[in-house]
Structure 1
């Protein structure tokens, strides 16, 4: 009886661990997020950028990288190459990303390729307390961004990854599709094309307007916290990479977003933070900062937006053209002018008039 019991126990152990071993081998061979090699027999999926970005950063050839939140997703790699003169661009956007996630992605790219240029959309929301620390954000697989292969078992022995591996088998390799994926990676313009209406904008503005008086909003954008994240997360990357060209820009949220900032008591911190950033970076010759936030022909034209912050791909293209001509470049002479203009535009804007169809 004991021998028979041992037999079944041993058989169960063999089957169990054998099954786990097959999952590891299968995930390694298919490698749906290209952590070890480029996809060569399937067309990769783009639905999990935090997983995919690590693989793209490690295994693709490029000399320039696009970093940022959803504010940069509607750039096209070929447009960046055309207008900024970069040789080969890889898009590594992190939708809803924290500054830690964005810099970890950039660091991985720099460690794996000879990066010469960085185009970076500096989104204040990536620095705020809304952006959770990475240890509290299970969506970010930090272990994929390091060089420690011992923790890759989390990826290889992963049933979610297994699901993606199986699905990859039904997506035959299509070089044209892959090239298009890399060019437009994570772009959401087509998906939300019907959202670029004044009616939709006003609905979202009304919703945020109703909660803008919540005192917690201002605390989420504590100025000292913003500075701390800049000093300890972003600035070290810049200090280590003085041989690389950084093109940093402030995304042009709509005027309604700045008004919500004001009503929520963090607009002043936003302005002070921008001045702080400039003072910290002005000594670096390899850095250019572009400020599009006070360009009222963009920010006041509400048909450019699908919500209060996210603009259409036409604005992404417009920004590239401005950067290529050094328009809206922040200097010691105009930094206060840009900040003052944005402050005046925001304070003057009549949000209640818009909601009541007066303008």
Structure 2
């Protein structure tokens, strides 16, 4: 190899690895998803919860967490503190989250802070058969939720993260904006405010009704599959944390969604699953379970919903007020009554008005 060729090879290798080094250093310093420190010279973005939640869980101070899917995104941290008496709340919602993702997020929070209270939105759809363990889920950056600093190279040597680093620098640090972001984190109410109409609800319902696949849905929500994820993913975290207060609630989907469940052959599985969950959790003195799904004033008022499952921030606030007064609290005396009422409400509901 002649000297000239060696020079160009050396130059290319130097530029290549030098560029990678600059990329790693730049992503580490900016750290757009706060994996190593709180944001101190930019106002952070919140459009990628699976990345951001890991950083929030590791680097912020809190004593209470909100965990769940998009069903909890319209809760406000300050409202939770006010009505439930929690000292400092962090929102760690995962839009479209599976139970695997939610429990990994909760475990990360517990491992990094002295968590005393967990408000948990128990969403049936997080337990679906299609929910994959985080190590098999390409959407979920599991490596950010562990303590292994070496696999963080995936984060640091990442051009998508680089793009977010540059975008972060365009948002100068503003403590008030950050405080408000933490309070309303992931809330979508303002973005979809115009969707809370009866006409929009009917369109959403009709789409689900005419496109439903009864055979597929009954498989996705087969009882044994729901039970398996509860027993092997959810319950172990409960068992390890008997010193923490769990406030678990069933989010109030609209009556139209329960009707879709019934027509898709998995509503009975769901009711059976709810009874199973209660029987498994009733022995834990640190757990309270609230069921808002039979609250007819909410679930039958279709203007509360932007679609058949997602309710407004007003309903979220109502939920907190009910929890603060221990309304809709499930116990051994009323569990069967609650399940029977939801069953009756659903099977009596006439969908012709929606079609």
The correspondence of residues 9-48 of structure 1 with structure 2, limited to 5 A, is: 9-48=9-48
For residue 112 of structure 2, what is the aligned residue in structure 1? 112
Q: 1:169 to 1:354 in 2, by over 3 A?
A: closer
Is contact 1:275–1:335 with CA below 8 Å preserved after alignment? yes
Deviation at 1:131, TM superposition (A): 2.8
Deviation at 1:39, TM superposition (A): 0.3
Partner deviation per Cα, 1:243-271 (whole Å, 9 max, x = no partner) = 00000000000000000000000000110
CA distance in 1, matches of 2:213, 2:238: 37
CA distance in 1, matches of 2:172, 2:22: 22
For residue 59 of structure 1, what is the aligned residue in structure 2? 59
The answer as to 2:175 corresponding to 1:175 is yes
CA distance in 2, matches of 1:130, 1:260: 19
The answer as to 2:82 corresponding to 1:82 is yes
Normalising by structure 2, we get a TM-score of 0.99
CA distance in 1, matches of 2:214, 2:3: 69
Deviation at 1:166, TM superposition (A): 1.1
For residue 250 of structure 1, what is the aligned residue in structure 2? 250
For residue 188 of structure 1, what is the aligned residue in structure 2? 188
Deviation at 1:136, TM superposition (A): 4.1
For residue 50 of structure 2, what is the aligned residue in structure 1? 50
Aligned-partner SS, 1:50: helix
Is contact 1:213–1:263 with CA below 8 Å preserved after alignment? no
Is contact 2:206–2:354 with CA below 8 Å preserved after alignment? no
For residue 153 of structure 1, what is the aligned residue in structure 2? 153
CA distance in 1, matches of 2:204, 2:80: 31
For residue 303 of structure 1, what is the aligned residue in structure 2? 303
**Larger deviation: 252-261 or 129-138?**
129-138
The answer as to 2:41 corresponding to 1:4 is no
For residue 211 of structure 2, what is the aligned residue in structure 1? 211
Deviation at 1:213, TM superposition (A): 4.6
Aligned-partner SS, 2:214: coil
Aligned-partner SS, 1:58: helix
CA distance in 2, matches of 1:204, 1:288: 33
CA distance in 2, matches of 1:139, 1:68: 17
For residue 343 of structure 2, what is the aligned residue in structure 1? 343
For residue 99 of structure 2, what is the aligned residue in structure 1? 99
Aligned-partner SS, 1:215: helix
Is contact 1:249–1:291 with CA below 8 Å preserved after alignment? yes
**Structure 2: runs of 5+ lacking an equivalent:** none
CA distance in 1, matches of 2:178, 2:333: 45
CA distance in 2, matches of 1:306, 1:223: 28
**Larger deviation: 130-139 or 226-235?**
130-139
Deviation at 1:229, TM superposition (A): 0.4
Is contact 2:205–2:354 with CA below 8 Å preserved after alignment? no
Partner deviation per Cα, 1:276-298 (whole Å, 9 max, x = no partner) = 00000000000000000011111
Partner deviation per Cα, 1:9-41 (whole Å, 9 max, x = no partner) = 111001100100110011111100000000000
Deviation at 1:133, TM superposition (A): 3.5
Q: 1:354 to 1:170 in 2, by over 3 A?
A: closer
**Larger deviation: 189-198 or 164-173?**
164-173
CA distance in 1, matches of 2:263, 2:209: 8
Is contact 1:305–1:311 with CA below 8 Å preserved after alignment? yes
**Structure 1: runs of 5+ lacking an equivalent:** none
For residue 239 of structure 1, what is the aligned residue in structure 2? 239
Q: 1:314 to 1:110 in 2, by over 3 A?
A: same
CA distance in 1, matches of 2:354, 2:112: 49
For residue 222 of structure 2, what is the aligned residue in structure 1? 222
Deviation at 1:4, TM superposition (A): 1.1
Aligned-partner SS, 2:45: coil
Deviation at 1:56, TM superposition (A): 0.3
The answer as to 2:329 corresponding to 1:329 is yes
Deviation at 1:134, TM superposition (A): 2.6
Partner deviation per Cα, 1:81-128 (whole Å, 9 max, x = no partner) = 000000000000000000000000000000000000000000000000
RMSD across aligned positions (CA): 0.9
**Larger deviation: 124-133 or 179-188?**
124-133
CA distance in 1, matches of 2:135, 2:257: 29
